[in-house]
Structure 1
Amino acid sequence: MVELTLVHWIYVIVVIIVLAVMIMRRDTLIPCVIGIFLMGLASKKGIVGAAGGIFNSFVVAGVELLGIIFIISVIVSMSRLLEDIGANQLMIRPLTKLIKTPNQAFWFIGIVMLLVSWFFWPSPATALVGAVLLPVALKVGLPAIGAAVAINLFGHGLALSSDLVIQGAPTITASTAGVNVAELTSKGIPLFVVMAVVTITVAYILLKRDMKNGTLKLDNAMIKESDVNEKEVRPVAKIAAFMVPIAFGLNILAMFMFELRGGDATALIGGTAVLILVVLCFLEYKSKALEQITDYIKAGFVFGIEIFGPIIPIAAFFYMGDMGSFSQVMGAGALPAASQGILADLGTALASVAPMNRPTVAIMEMGIGGLTGLDGSGFSGLSLAGAVAKVFGTAVNGSIAVLAALGQIGSIWVGGGTIIPWSLIPAAAICNVSPMELARRNLVPVMIGLIVTTIVAMFLI
């Protein structure tokens, strides 16, 4: 067993501090930066080298995350154009004829939200699905809070935690866990399914109970207001309404035919989104397309950097737990020759001194994932969830991928926008309900789902 050095202990102490700061609902960027600096000093890099190590660690983390930042940015750019020309309404509107009852409205909104979120990210999907389907749901008798629950749980819960298409969340988690994105996704599917089925079913049962006993009532004023809430649909929107579903449908077909996974699949989707953006800009803006497309790309990248800007410094610290990233920043000789990386060394040491078992590590992984989500940003804790999964998985000789998926579920379902009031404002705002009320309604179903999913994970690790 490799002897733990000062670098190892600094890493452990900073992880504990990060958890404490998250519990206090404060940002963790400063502790992570200080941790990188202290590890630089402990690696005998000197003040100059340690200061430079901070920036270099940001570069390493940025390179790791660059593909995900780009794909989200171009998807949002395309979504903004579709919204401006009214194509989003045309794509969804035919489906509204299928909604006749409150039950159908809840499940239909949820499933549409899930599919749209997988391809366009939950934030823009919330505005799209809410604006088009909320009026229909209200007319057939589903209360606004019911629509908000469906949008929230299917989008910011299931879609964001699984992220099967864009693969932003699993890329971050897998990179610090030291596993392949495809492995994390495939082994995490049973957990994603259990979490979704349990949580959404419980939420639906509670919603139906409250509708039956009269606790939830329809707001007639909202129904009247929704009747006039129609956005202008441009002529080119009809072309876009056919082009976009066909293009992404062909993308899915190509993924199966050519066995595209991970970065290759992401690249195909991103490139398709950019091509759609170019074509539609020329069709809509003609001679002004050259300038207009710049505005859409700029808006998309502003969104992408806004989301990932705080995540890069946090991820930079946790990437230091991997031997490859650490060596790039601090140099190969900063750790003992026999070291396999800080996280692997800690896992081996933990297994030799503590009675670790699969139920224990499953509970601890879910607990840490949930704690990291308390700041209301599900993504900020993914790096820690992946890093801890590597430690625990090594300690019990279990599946690191399953543990990482479990931590990802905890982090995103808690912080990604289902039970933290300030993180579910988009869904609450589009449905005109109180964020606090939506958070309270989601709390019991989500907690039950997390408990059941943790129990299932104990048998899969």
Structure 2
Amino acid sequence: MNILLTNLHYIYIISILAIIIAMALKRDISLICIIGIFILGIFATNSIFKSIMGIFNSFVYATKELMPTIFIISIITAMSNVLVVVGINKELVSPFKKIIKSYWACYWIIGIIMMTLSWFFWPSPAVALIGALFLPIAKKVGLPPIGAAVAMNLFGHGIALSSDFIIQAAPKLTADAAGIKVSSVVSASIPLTIIMGAVTTITAFYMLRRDMKNGNIDRNFQKEELAAEEEKTTIVIPIFLRKLLTILTIVIFLSDIVIMYIYKLQGGDATALIGGTAIFILSLISIIAYGKRCLEKITTHIVDGLIFGFKIFGIVIPIAAFFYLGDSAFTEIFGKVLPASSHGIVNDLGVAFSNIAPANPLLASGTLTAVGAITGLDGSGFSGIPLVGSIAKLFSTALGGGVSTLTAMGQIAGIWVGGGTIIPWAVIPVAAICKVNPFELAKRNLIPVIIGLLVTTVFAAFLI
């Protein structure tokens, strides 16, 4: 595949390098993204006013794409607030307190349960369920919110989403592009998933434990936060009624899981079910707890949730707006100015990189990792993996085999980077639920994921 790189491609690369440098210096990158959008617009349209329009339109596009996530986070936050006010949150976590006695046990239990649920329903709806149940326990046993966020992120958006053993949406995309069976990709990804998952989660836990011991993670705020939560329990209801509502909440969410399994709901549909359920629970508990004041209080909780959601996402929209231009958003905003053979700036860069890489098992594996990571920069994780399958097929032809392993390697790299562990706005669902900075979460994930990809890439080379 021959791809013609234009000035737009090189401007995009330079902008990404500037963003990486700024992040390394711990500086905000919103302005860099805005400037990058403007310069891309200038070269695409040769018009200053159209470039200025492009900045606004890219913001609108990013907001539209992120809106389902903004809403689910806002609604779950609204529901969680009323659970705290009534004291149901304490009842929900009480059974787990007897099992989880230390922060390290909490880290692994949160991760494993998150991974299991994510295999069946994908991470987005699982985040809401896990966060509501386990975050209070994490605080009690001394696991910082950033630690809980890392566990949820790596196990859910990393291991579960990149392997996708149950739903098999990712393997199907890559398998179709590579011209092989889905089962071949799934089988090939099992050992790679084990290596990648083990290396990243163990490395992340080691770094977390080290920083906690060295005092690099301030744990004092947890006591203040817990005290604040204690004060929030302002509505006193009979104990038997509180326990009944707790059981009802659990039963309703478990029913959601059964419904998602029976009707094969996934992605947006599963998230919609969880979101609608959260609104139902919010309304029901508010009616019982507030009585005559329920009409006003329901609205107050919803508004508070929306304020929280948009506050969290406000810093991310400019960044998402820039990175979405790496895919189909560019044509929608600036018109058809890319070459006819182009599949989007990010995909073009991935193909160009693969064309200059020599063919031997290690370099082929490394190339698929790099291409997967590059295509993951658009933040979806899935948009670029068909390209990974095509490139894997090319390399396997030159090597005389290994198409399944190469395809699985590219799939893992693309989804780990773009599916929710590295790209800042992709980590927002977890960051919002755990109330941590998404950029801090992305930075904490970065080293474990890089180490995991390097080790898994070398391992994959021996399987080809």
Whether TM exceeds 0.5 here: the answer is: yes
Amino acid at match of 1:93: S
Tell me how far 1:101 sits from its aligned partner: 9.0
- Deviation for aligned residue 1:70: 0.8
Question: 2-side partners of 1:234 and 1:107: how far apart?
Answer: 35
Alignment of 1:330-349 (within 5 A): 330-332=334-336, 334-349=337-352
- Matches of 1:451 and 1:351 in 2, distance apart? 17
What amino acid sits opposite 1:5 in the alignment?
T
| Change in 2 beyond 3 A, CA 1:290/1:162 | farther
Match of 1:88 in 2: 89
- Residue 265 of structure 1 aligns with an amino acid whose one-letter code is A
Alpha-carbon separation, structure 2, partners of 1:395 and 1:448: 23
Rounded to whole Å, the distance in 1 between the matches of 2:290 and 2:346 is 52
C-alpha separation in 2, matches of 1:206 and 1:9: 35
Find the counterpart in structure 1 of residue 331 from structure 2.
Answer: 327
Q: What does the per-residue CA deviation read over 1:130-164, in whole Å, with 9 as the maximum and x for residues that have no partner?
A: 35x53xxxxxxxxx47x889746534543465687
Partner of 2:379: 383
Asked if 2 retains the 8 angstrom alpha-carbon contact of 1:53 and 1:330, the reply is yes
2:167 corresponds in structure 1 to: none
Q: Is the 8 A contact 1:2 1:345 kept in 2?
A: yes
Counterpart in 2 of 1:250?
A: 255
From 99, 108, 130, the counterpart of 2:138: 130
Distance 2:107 2:340 in 1: 58
Aligned to 1:154: 151
| Structure 2 equivalent of residue 276 of structure 1 | 281
Distance 1:208 1:30 in 2: 34
Q: CA deviation at 1:43?
A: 1.4
The answer on whether the counterparts of 1:199 and 1:448 sit within 8 Å (CA) in structure 2 is yes
Change (3 A) 1:189 1:32: farther
Candidates 399, 403, 408, aligned match of 2:413: 403
The equivalent of 1:360 in structure 2 is 366
**Cα separation, partners in 2 of 1:287 and 1:194, compared to 1, 3 Å:** farther
Shift of the alpha carbon at 1:265? 0.9
Q: Which residue does the alignment assign to 1:138?
A: none
Structure-1-length-normalised TM-score: 0.67
What's the CA shift for 1:260? 0.8
CA contact (8 A) 1:382 1:408 kept: yes
Distance 1:36 1:272, change over 3 A: same
2:88 and 2:190 mapped to 1: Cα distance? 32
Rate the CA distance shift 1:121–1:163 in 2: closer, same or farther, 3 A: farther
Is residue 110–residue 152 contact of structure 2 (8 Å, CA) maintained in 1? Answer: no
Distance in 1 between the 2:284 and 2:51 partners?
48
- Preserved contact between residue 369 and residue 414 of structure 2 (Cα < 8 Å): no
Q: Percent identity?
A: 35
Q: Name the Cα RMSD after superposition.
A: 5.2
Look up the equivalent residue of 1:383 and give its one-letter code. G
CA contact (8 A) 1:18 1:28 kept: yes
**Count of residue correspondences:** 401
Equivalent residue, structure 1, for 2:298 = 293
Displacement of 1:402:
2.2
Asked whether the equivalents of residues 70 and 309 of structure 2 are also in contact (C-alpha less than 8 Å), the reply is yes
The C-alpha deviation readout for 1:404-446, integer Å capped at 9, x for no partner, is 22325894599999xxxx99x979xxxxxxx9xxx99x99988
Q: Kindly state the Cα deviation for residue 249 of structure 1 after the two structures are TM-superposed.
A: 0.8
User: What corresponds to 1:43 in structure 2?
Assistant: 44
Letter in 1 for 2:330: F
Distance 1:196 1:87 in 2: 34
The question of whether the paired residues in 2 share the 8 Å contact of 1:29 and 1:310 is answered with: yes
Residues 3, 199 of structure 1: CA spacing in aligned structure 2 closer, same or farther, 3 A cutoff? closer
Q: Which amino acid aligns with 1:28?
A: I
Query: How far off is 1:455 after superposition?
Result: 4.6
Paired with 2:14 and 2:357, the residues of 1 have a C-alpha distance of 18
Query: Which of 118, 121, 124 is the equivalent residue of 2:126?
Result: 118
Measure how far apart 1:5 and its partner are.
Answer: 2.0
In the alignment, residue 151 of structure 2 is paired with which amino acid? F
Say whether residues 1:262 and 2:259 are aligned partners.
Answer: no
The separation in 2 between residues aligned to 1:325 and 1:352, in whole angstroms, is 25
Change (3 A) 1:315 1:77: same
Alpha-carbon distance in structure 2 between the residues aligned to 1:163 and 1:78: 26
Which residue, out of 305, 311, 316, partners 2:316? Answer: 311
Distance (Å, rounded) in 2 between the aligned partners of 1:276 and 1:120: 14
State the TM-score, normalized to the length of structure 2.
0.67
Letter in 2 for 1:22: M
In the alignment, structure 1 residue 66 sits paired with structure 2 residue 80: no
Task: State the AA in 1 paired with 2:351.
Answer: T
| Alpha-carbon distance between aligned partners in 1 of 2:356 and 2:199, rounded to the nearest angstrom | 36
Whether the aligned pair in 2 keeps the contact of 1:74 and 1:274 (CA below 8 Å) is yes
Instruction: Give SS of 1:321's match.
Output: coil
Going from structure 1 to structure 2, the CA distance change for 1:447 and 1:76 (only over 3 Å counts) comes to same
Contact 2:111 2:156 in 1 (8 A): no
Code of the aligned partner of 2:342: S
Tell me the amino acid that sits aligned with residue 14 of structure 1. S
Mapping 1:77-226, distance limit 5 Å: 77-98=78-99, 118-120=126-128, 127-131=135-139, 133-134=140-141, 144=142, 151=148, 153-155=150-152, 157-159=154-156, 161=158, 194-198=195-199
